[in-house]
Structure 1
Amino acid sequence: MLKIGLTGGIGSGKSTVAALLAERGAVVVDADRLAREAVAPGTPGLTAIAEEFGPGVLTEDGALDRAALASVVFADPAARARLDAIVHPRVRARAAELAAAAPPGSVVVQDVPLLVETGQAGSFDLVLVVETEAETRVARLVDRGLSAADARARIASQATDEQRRAVADVVLRNDGAPEELAAQVQRFWSERVEPATR
């Protein structure tokens, strides 16, 4: 099994790269999706968040109010650390289960937005980083409905490009056309993945 850690800042295009790798046969484990599952209604994760942050982070029907929770944790590093202590262990445990369930000889790509921040780079055979200029990322996030100020705050709360590059085996640039990114993914697959799985 070849274990690839895929990371990059919010709005960099990680999901696009994950989809391109899945098209080539990789088993993709999406940490963001697992994080949503970990705090779904009725889960111990959601119960722990409500106990830690109070009923104000829940909607009327008892689901997580993401906007309310974000307003608490993005401005307060200590609160964010408390949230991470609830969510991250659950996500890592589920990701490990899914990776272990992949067929022998699989290429398992774990899409981990906070790979650098959580110190997981050493857990992978290869670390693949998607990098995009900050203003391009801001524009993408504004297109998704965030304010420019919120987009910049989210970017600032994550690792820097330099910190990601320091753990990267391969860096993909995603400032150009979609075809350029696809070509880089194909090159990565043929030069790094295929030789490692023969």
Structure 2
Amino acid sequence: MPFAVGLTGGIGCGKSRAADCFAELGAGIVDTDVISHRLTQPGTVTVAAIRCAFGDGCFDSNGTLNRGKLRALVFSDARARSVLESILHPAIRRIAAAEASELKTPYVLLVVPLLFETNALREFVDRVLLIDCAEHQQIERAVRRGLAENEVRAIMASQLSRSERLGRSDDVIDNSAGPDELKLSVETLHMKYLEMAYERGATPAVNL
């Protein structure tokens, strides 16, 4: 596997935007949320397992998984969340590791929102990058995306506290400002990760 950075952060901190900035610079990206979405498309084995575990209450009348209902359930019930994780995480872990191993980029970003909470893929990453912002910004941003404030707070309560995330991370991007500041922070870390990858034996890109 290439040199790997685990990108994580709380809801609303801007993980996807940061990952997009890294991708524009040539980093390989493996996003576990994207993998999870693929796994829960209609007709998959994973969806069948979810229906078996939770019944029809999390599905629309046409048989499609209602992600909003499922999210509301698992973030209000720790046992339900544990059951869902037992269904999803082994497959996500396997697919993410395989996709990362196939990438030919100098380094890869594994985007794992619950990297600390589940330790999923932790053994595969060389460094942990935290995308951080103030908690009130997390709530404001998530609400702008269409989530109810009480739902956002429930999700935040299920995740590690901001101080715990900061204490466990190797690198931190403060994403409390605007996109220009985020881009500059990403560019700085991109160069740092390239140097680390080359020290471990990655082949330098032609345009560097």
Which TM class, normalised by the smaller chain length? over 0.9
Distance 1:167 1:4 in 2: 14
What is the CA–CA distance in structure 1 between the aligned matches of 2:188 and 2:141, rounded to whole Å? 25
Deviation of 1:187 (Å): 1.1
**By how many angstroms is 1:162 displaced?**
2.2
Q: CA RMSD, aligned part only?
A: 1.3
Q: 1:113 is matched with which residue?
A: 113
2:14 match: 13
Corresponding residue SS for 1:127: strand
Question: What amino acid sits opposite 1:82 in the alignment?
Answer: V
Corresponding residue for residue 130 of structure 2? 129
In 1: Cα distance, 2:188 partner to 2:106 partner: 19
Query: Corresponding residue for 1:176?
Result: 177
Q: Which moved more, 1:11-20 or 1:164-173?
A: 164-173
Give the structure-2-normalised TM-score. Answer: 0.90
Instruction: Please report the TM-score for the alignment, with normalisation by the length of structure 1.
Output: 0.94
Match of 1:65 in 2: 66
Contact (CA 8 Å) 2:50, 2:87: kept in 1 or not?
A: yes
Instruction: Name 1:165's counterpart in structure 2.
Output: 166
Alpha-carbon distance between aligned partners in 1 of 2:127 and 2:78, rounded to the nearest angstrom? 29
CA–CA separation in structure 1 for the residues paired with 2:72 and 2:195: 46
Does 2:148 align with 1:147?
A: yes
Consecutive unaligned residues of structure 2, counting only runs of 5 or more, are: 199-208
Which residue identity does 1:196 align to in structure 2?
A: M
Alpha-carbon contact 2:106-2:194 (below 8 Å) kept: no
Contact 1:25 1:107 in 2 (8 A): no
**Distance between the aligned counterparts of 1:197 and 1:63, measured in 2?**
42
Could you report, residue by residue, the CA deviation over 1:109-135 in whole angstroms, capped at 9, with x for unpaired residues? Answer: 111000001114342111100011010
List per-residue Cα deviations over 1:78-103 (Å, max 9, x = no partner): 11000110011111111011111112
Question: CA separation in 2, counterparts of 1:30 and 1:61?
Answer: 28
Residue 71 of structure 1: how far off its partner (Å): 2.6
Question: Is the 1:116–1:163 Cα contact (8 Å) retained in structure 2?
Answer: no
Give yes or no for contact 2:72–2:151 (8 Å, CA) kept in 1.
Answer: no
Which runs of 4 or more aligned residues in structure 1 lie more than 3 Å from their structure 2 counterparts after TM superposition?
none
Query: Paired residues, what number?
Result: 196
| Aligned 8 A contact 2:75 2:81 in 1 | yes
The answer to whether the 8 Å contact 1:3/1:124 transfers is yes
- Sequence identity percentage: 36
Measure how far apart 1:75 and its partner are. Answer: 1.0
